[in-house]
Each structure stands twice: as structure tokens, then as C-alpha cells.
Amino acid sequence: MGKILNKTILPGSTIGIIGGGQLGQMMSFCAKEMGYRVIILDPQPNCSAAQVSDDQIVAEYSDVDQLVELAKRCDVLTYEFENVDASAINEVKKYTQVPQGIKALKVTQNRISEKDFIDANGFATVPHVVIENIFEYHRGVEKLGAPVILKTIRGGYDGKGQILITDPEDVCFADIEHLLMQGPCMLEKKIDLEKEVSVVVSANSNGEKSIFPIIENVHRHNILHLSTCPAQISKKSAQHIYQVAETLAEKLELVGTMCIEFFISTKDEVFVNEIAPRPHNSGHLTIEACNISQFDAHIRGVCNLAMPKIELLKPAAMVNLLGQHLEAAKKELVQHPEWHFHDYGKDAIKENRKMGHITILSDDLEKTKQAIENNSIWDV
Ligand code: ADP
Ligand code: MG
């Protein structure tokens, strides 16, 4: 059991983070607060995470020489996104500890292995088939019944690489062919959603876990818009979801933070949608709402510190600031003492790009949600 050999990494040591986006930035804030040194590897000079870290190696994520350089300079290495090359991680393991390992990465990098893994553990996934050509596409649609969603196997995020097929008689085959040209795809039955929820779970190398309260999520155009906690779901669903979190964390030999996304159907069925082997956008509200955040828990996990029991200190709502929202939100900030405002410091403001978020702690979540709904910032 290699994992038992992972030693505790104490403040003063250096943490290397592959990836310098907002997740790396929020990890770094927590690490710096505790007295760690942080070095970021990211191709974008002065990326979000580098702005709050000790140093940055400017390099592509696939640059093995520079990954080795990072590994040599740090006491422990972690990553903030799932598209890290597993073989590169194996290479840098020779030079430093990578307590997260590669199991969670490998399983979740690919929608097929991810669904197989969830199925193998006895948890429900939405009905799906893997297809490689138009012939299999037609067979798949027949088997599942429209509406269906076609998804790429790798690299999708925020709904990218997905096509919704509502009416099989009225589809653009060129779009479907285009996705299929990139390799096998997954065809999923589109579920009538009652709710989407997620659960964040963190662990250290000794197998101690911190499980965060379930979060309820609203997406717009397949991009997370609003998260609230606690989730308004039945006790039975909640128990099941915590059971899934516990089991999958164990089976993935989780170290650090991961998040599991769920669908709850209008028939009250619970499906596991996908697993992110890293902190997650929906978990940002844990920064203000819980005794420790998903990022604190990640740092504690990879440094093998004791994992606390998580408490929700106050109900919370988190709303994303995309490129089209940021400037308007900044202008309004002065009128909102209740806003915990986060700007990731990205230089290029683009439509639908995640630029920041706002968390609001509230004893009346319905009222808070209504206030967000009524605010014209999020009309676009
Ligand atoms: P991504 O990797 O882009 O997050 P997801 O598979 O999580 O991809 O899909 C993004 C969103 O699209 C989901 O959060 C959900 O709102 C919607 N969606 C995806 N698959 C389904 C499905 N099978 N049934 C209903 N809604 C879905
Ligand atoms: Mg998703």
C-alpha cells in the first residue's frame, strides 16, 4: 500500500499546482493562509492562480520537462483540473509525492470508463449507449427513445461537445458526424429533471474523509448558474447521495477533493451524472458557508492533515459571474453588503467564461434566490 507511505506535509513546505485557473487560485489562497509556499504551472503568464502564489512555471500542461522541473521544486504536487495526462503524472511521481494518484483521473477522464465505474459500484447512471458511427447512432436513438443527448467522450465541460436531439426527424447530421469524427461518443437519454444536486467529498492519504452538505444546482445553457445549500431534497435521496459519495471516494482511493454531480428525475429517481476529481464550481459556497472550504479540505487532504467533520454554518447561495455579468456586478457591489464578491482576475473577459462568483449567506434562501432572479445582471 504505497499510500500509507505518504508523509504529512507541514506549513513551510512547497505545494506545486498543475493548472492556474480559479480552482488553483482558491487552492492557493488556502495554502498561503496556512503558511505553505505555492508554485503554479500554467501556460498563461500571470494566470489567476499565479497572481496569489509564490512563483509560476509558464509551460503547457503536457510539457513533461517542465512538469519534472515543478516536481523537483515542490514537496507535494496536485492538479486543479481533470485533463492532466496520467502518464505525465506517472513520470513526475519519481521526483515528488503525488498523493492524489491517477486512478480518479483515469476513471473520470473518459465518459465511458466513468459510467462503467459508477455502474460497477451498483449506482444508477442515465440510460446510455456508446456509438461510433451514424448507423449505431440510429440504433441508439431507437433503443433509448428521444429526446437524447450526444456527448463527446473526452474533454467536455460546461456543455461543450454536446448536441441535444429533441426530434430525431429534425437533426443536423453534419453536427453529429462532426462529433463522431472526434472518436466514439456517448448517447444519453435526456432525463426529465426535477433537480440537479452535487456533493463534495475530500479525503487524506489515511482514508479520513470530510463530506460536505449536498448542494442544489441550477444550470443555464448547460453552465452552472446558481448553487444553494442545503439542498431541498428528500431524506431518502440525501442518504443515498451520501452513500454514493462515501463509496466512490473509497473506490477511487480519493486524496484531496472531488465532486459528484447527480440528476434527480421528476419520478424521484437519483442518477449519478459525472465525477470531477477536483474542487467544483458548485462547492465555492463552502468558502463562506462551512467550517472549512472545499479548497481547505483539498490542501488538508493532499498534505495528509486530519480531516474535520464538516458543518454548514449558515445556508448559502452562490451565483456565477460570467463575462457578460462581471462589469455590471462590480458596479452594483457597492450597494450589496451581503455579497461575498470573488473576481478571479482573468485578463480576457469573454461571454460565458467564468470570471468570478458571488456568495450570499442567508436564513431565507427563497428570498435570496428571488433577489438574484429579479436582478437584471443575470438577464443576459
Ligand atoms: P459537462 O461536462 O459539460 O458538465 P454534463 O454531462 O454534466 O456535462 O452536462 C451539462 C448539463 O447538461 C447538466 O448539468 C444537465 O443540466 C444537462 N444534461 C446533461 N446530460 C443530461 C441528461 N442525460 N438528461 C438531462 N439533462 C442533462
Ligand atoms: Mg457536469
pLDDT at 158: 77
pLDDT at 2: 41
209: helix, strand or coil: strand
CA distances for 134 relative to 131, 150, 236, angstroms: 8, 12, 40
- The pLDDT tens digits for 313-329 are 999 999 999 999 999 99
pTM of the entire predicted model: 0.96
pLDDT at 236: 97
Residues flanking ligand 1, CB < 6 Å = 126, 149, 156-159, 188-191, 193, 196, 219, 222, 261, 273-274
| CA distance linking residue 183 with residue 154, whole number of Å | 9
- Reported as a pLDDT band with limits 50, 70 and 90, residue 334 is very high
Q: Mutation test of ligand 1: which of 81, 162, 278 has the most ligand atoms closer than 8 Å to its C-beta?
A: 162
Widest distance between CA atoms in the chain: 62
CA of 5 to the centre of ligand 2 (A): 34
Check the annotation: does 219 bind a ligand: yes
pLDDT surpassing 80 at residue 4: no
pLDDT at 101: 87
Neighbours of 371 (CB within 10 A): 16
| CA distance linking residue 345 with residue 347, whole number of Å | 6
pLDDT surpassing 80 at residue 1: no
The closest ligand to the CA of 263 turns out to be 1
**DSSP-assigned states of every residue in 59-123:** --TT-HHHHHHHHHH-SEEEESSTTS-HHHHHHHTTTSB-TT-SHHHHHHSSHHHHHHHHHHTT-
Stretch 190-214: mean pLDDT? 97
CA distances for 126 relative to 16, 143, 216, angstroms: 37, 13, 19
Residue 3 DSSP label: G
- Reported as a pLDDT band with limits 50, 70 and 90, residue 156 is confident
Check the annotation: does 161 bind a ligand: yes
Stretch 223-239: mean pLDDT? 97
- The pLDDT tens digits for 242-285 are 999 999 999 999 999 999 999 999 999 999 999 999 999 999 99
Stretch 326-335: mean pLDDT? 97
The partner residues of 212 in beta bridges, in order of sequence, read none
CA of 165 to the centre of ligand 2 (A): 18
- The pLDDT tens digits for 33-88 are 999 999 999 999 999 999 999 999 999 999 999 999 999 999 999 999 888 888 89
Q: Which of 291, 210, 219 is nearest to 262 (CA)?
A: 219
Q: Where are the beta strands (DSSP E) in 221-267?
A: 223-229, 256-265
Stretch 15-25: mean pLDDT? 98
| CA distance linking residue 6 with residue 29, whole number of Å | 23
Check the annotation: does 274 bind a ligand: yes
